[in-house]
Copies of this chain bind each other. A is one copy, B any other.
Amino acid sequence: MSVCVVTGAASGIGAAVAKTLRGQGIEVIGIDRRESELCSDLGNPDGRRVAVQEARRRSGDCIDHVVCCAGLGPSEDPFLVASVNYFGAIEILDGLLPALSRGCGSSAVVIGSNEASMWSWQDNTMPLSFLEEGESRVHDRLRRVSHGEVSRLSYASSKQALTVAIRRRVEAWAAHGVRINVVAPGAVQTPMLEASEADPRYSEAVKKFVAPLGRRAQPQEIASVVAFLLGEKASFIHGSVIFVDGGIDARFRPDRF
């Protein structure tokens, strides 16, 4: 039986991914703050370290797939958003790579966001700070942001940095025999989106954020793409960013991709 670690497995996209994979006969080790096989807080370094140790121990140090879904939206504390969305994903991935390299047809998928493409790499220096300066320096920088958009800046920057960090790993991960890809959703009907919708700062923007397909995604529509990317039919997809956003990215930037 294949083994897959899924972070953020208690709700939203993570819950849908866990359910889909279980339906395919895959053993899921869910990680979340609550209601999971492995309860741990990915918002701090200790929680991440424990999660990696425990996942390796419970799997016998042999894992076939990892899916990083744990993430916080722009209505949450911007420091926690940065910590969970970027460091909570990267430290899990890098920590589980040795176990993945012993798996079968090993692959990983990371949930990014179509917000990651809204700023270009050149126009925003925050993502580089995630990649090169580390968690406390990112928090220092966020503390110095005076405008009201700090939460959205933290969210978009963390997701952009995460996407670039995955793409930078294509050579190293291929050398370990592990494929890794990013799924970039748009508006998905999850508790995270509902929290943003209830937040007066974002409520209007969320309501206007309607994809060309004319609706929001259900979590299952993201999970089905994740499951495909993990499997052997996606055997040549590596380092790719797959937008699953009903056409929003294409609408906003048709000539960049």
Contacts and interface: CB of A to CB of B under 8 A. Distances in A.
Interface of A: 116-117, 120-121, 163-164, 166-168, 170-171, 174, 179, 182, 211-214, 217, 221-222, 224-225, 228, 233-247, 249-251, 254-257
B251 A171 contact: yes
5 closest A-B pairs (Cβ-Cβ)?
Answer: A239-B250, A170-B247, A167-B254, A224-B233, A167-B250
A212 B170 contact: yes
A82 B192 CA distance: 46
Contacts of A241: 257
Contact of A168 (B116, B242, B254): B254
A221 B236 contact: yes
Given A170-B250, A233-B224, A250-B170, A238 B255 contact: no
A240 to B, nearest CB: 4
Contacts of A121: 255-256
A245 B174 CA distance: 13
Contacts of A214: 174
Contacts of A236: 211, 213, 217, 221-222, 225, 244-246
B247 A171 contact: yes
Contacts of A117: 257
Contacts of A168: 250, 254
Contacts of A234: 224-225, 228
Nearest to A163: B257
28 contacts: A163-B257, A164-B257, A167-B254, A168-B254, A170-B212, A170-B247, A170-B251, A171-B247, A171-B251, A174-B212, A174-B213, A179-B213, A211-B236, A213-B238, A221-B236, A222-B236, A224-B233, A225-B234, A228-B228, A228-B234, A236-B244, A237-B243, A237-B244, A238-B246, A239-B249, A240-B249, A241-B257, A242-B242
